[in-house]
Structure formats: C-alpha cells, structure tokens
Amino acid sequence: MILVDPPTWPGWGRTWSHLVSDDSIEELHDFAGRLGIPGRLFDEDHYDVPVERYDEVVAAGAVEVSGSQLIRRLLASGLRVTQAQRAGRSRG
C-alpha cells in the first residue's frame, strides 16, 4: 500500500510530505513514476513530495496517515532505512 504523511516537513523553502510503500520499493517507484515524481526526490526509503502535490498523490490512491503511523508501517515492512544505516553508507 502507498502511504503519505501530512506536508509538515520544512526544507529548501517549501513544505514536504513523505511518500512510502509498506509493500515494496518497486511499488513505490511505480507509483511515483506514474505521477511523474522525479527520481531525485527519492531518499532511500521514501519520496519527498512538495505540499503542492499532496492532493494529487492522495487522489491517485496514496493513503493519508500520520507521520508516526507512516514510520510504524515502514518499520514493520522492513523497508525503513535508519539514520545509522544512512551514515554507514555515506562512509562507504
């Protein structure tokens, strides 16, 4: 299932939501691709989606959940990339 949290995350002069799948990264990429969400907005386990596109992703089928629900579902799916994992990858 594709999930999206409310657009409450500030960055780069905009407000953002997180778009995830609790099934597979492939499902997430397919959904984002159908909407033309650029790959540069993918961040290891989610897409950052600007507030201007929130209604569009919901209309396309993303299920609205709270930020805490989104994290719980992503963790339960095994798809969550933690900060420690991110740090380890950047040190290469």
Q: Which residue has the higher pLDDT, 15 or 92?
A: 15
Two tokens, residue 61: 């089928």
* pLDDT digits 0-9 by tens, 34-77: 999 999 999 989 999 999 999 999 999 999 999 999 999 999 99
Share of the chain above pLDDT 70, in %: 96
Q: Read off the pLDDT band of 81 (50, 70, 90).
A: confident
Q: What is the DSSP letter of 2?
A: E
Q: Which two tokens stand for residue 78?
A: 């095994």
What local confidence, expressed as pLDDT, does residue 87 receive? Answer: 73
Q: What is the pTM for the complete model shown?
A: 0.88
